[in-house]
Amino acid sequence: MPVTCYLDAFSGISGDMLVGALADAGADQHAIADAIASLDAGAVVSFEKVKRGGIGATKYRVHAEETHAPRHLAHIVTMIEQANLPERARRDAVAVFRRLGEAEAEVHQVPIEKVHFHEVGASDSIADIVGTCVAFALLEVDAIVCSPLNLGSGTVNTAHGVLPVPAPATARLLAGAPVYARGPAVELTTPTGAAVACTLAQSFGVLPPMKLQRVGYGAGDHDFPGQANVLRVMLGEPSGATEAPAVSVLEANIDDLNPQVLAYAAERLLAAGALDVSLQPIVMKKGRPGTLLRVIAPPELREALAQMTFAETSALGLRIYDAQRRVQARSFAEVDTPHGKVRVKVSSDGSYAPEYEDCRRLALASGVPLKHIIAQANLAYLNRSR
């Protein structure tokens, strides 16, 4: 069965939190330790049960001699390629380090071959990234989805001095990803965690539809008051629902537009990809009657539909917010009625409904009332299902 892993980074994400969470969810700790030992990086790892904010979690620790000699990408890639790792873990770890190298090269304006890995080139960071990739392979994870990332705030001490949070490499890695800052003024998302998330996650967003099987918690170094410093991973089997669980909602209150134009705008928005458009009568300020235009949009079409709303209506502003939805997997069955074929929409729980447009077409063509066509389609589907 395919396995989806959701990274719930409400308190940020780092390499050690990732390995700890995946081990907590069932990845073989001895196999991870053996893989790290085969790197010959002078690192020894251990796992222990701890509590963060009252939540039991696994803390992944890397014990290595401190070194101040930075490594280049070629050196790290050679270490990974010569280690005894699952092929998938080897490929993923190299990809993560290349992504890190590209970010560092852009930040420091040097060729990637000349990038000096400082913190992320140390033995503990190499053990974090390789350990994460090995754990994903051990759990046979097929798809990774990551939540919006809590970056933290304040400053962080690095080999380049004191830098703002997020560190420049972290900010470059997460370009285009959903991020925010909440909680203590510390670095919550590290370059290592950001590199893994942006390299291996297929998408960012809310929890995808799944049959939940395992949950694991990986502990960060500190125990913050008022916030559990853990990364949660949730593993499960995809539920079969194909629609995106996250949507954007666009709203405008309109009191100065011809209803014919509003109806036309709704048609245009639906044709452009809106999932739904509704028009609701409301009473606005000063007792004026108006209309609430609400557009439910796939997140990737949010801006295009917002611009269309401005173009096709008199709205001068929009309220835009994110929402979640839950949908069931659906399929279609085709039935024969006395007046022609009708598609019937069938949900995963057995509920069904004749397709309106098919019924409408047959009613117009035959002159039979629409309610009779719908009843005939329902009867045909029930007889077929017996």
* Helix, strand counts (H, E) of the chain: 11, 18
pLDDT value, residue 67: 60
Residues 368 and 229 in one domain: no
Strand-pairing partners, residue 250, are 295, 320
Residues 192 and 290 in one domain: no
- Cα(369)–Cα(366) distance, integer angstroms: 9
- Cα(197)–Cα(204) distance, integer angstroms: 9
Query: Please, what's the b/e burial string for 126-150 (b: 16 or more CB within 10 A of its CB; e: otherwise)?
Result: bbbbbbbbbbbbbbebebbbbbebb
Alpha helices in the chain (DSSP H): 15-24, 29-37, 73-82, 87-108, 123-138, 168-173, 191-200, 259-271, 302-312, 356-366, 370-385
Residues 140 and 215 in one domain: yes
pLDDT value, residue 341: 93
Contact of 295 with 269, CB cutoff 8 Å:
yes
Contact of 189 with 12, CB cutoff 8 Å:
yes
Residues 211 and 82 in one domain: yes
Residues 251 and 343 in one domain: no
pLDDT value, residue 384: 84
Residues 78 and 225 in one domain: yes
Is the pTM above the cut of 0.85?
Answer: no
Residues 271 and 190 in one domain: no
Residues 25 and 142 in one domain: yes
Residues 103 and 196 in one domain: yes
316 Cβ contact list (under 8 Å, min separation 6): none
pLDDT value, residue 121: 46
Identify the domain boundary among 211, 238, 265: 238
Q: Which domain holds residue 279?
A: 246-324
> For the chain, which residues score pLDDT lower than 50?
119, 121
Residues 133 and 104 in one domain: yes
**And the tokens for 90?**
């080897």
CA 311 to chain CA centroid, Å, is: 31
Tell me the CATH number at 355: 3.10.20.300
Residues 319 and 342 in one domain: no
Identify the domain boundary among 278, 296, 324: 324
Residue 267: other Cβ atoms inside 10 A: 12
Tell me the CATH number at 308: 3.30.70.1380
Q: How many domains does the chain have?
A: 3
Identify the domain boundary among 324, 339, 360: 324
- Cα(103)–Cα(281) distance, integer angstroms: 51
pLDDT value, residue 320: 93
pLDDT value, residue 66: 63
Residues 176 and 309 in one domain: no
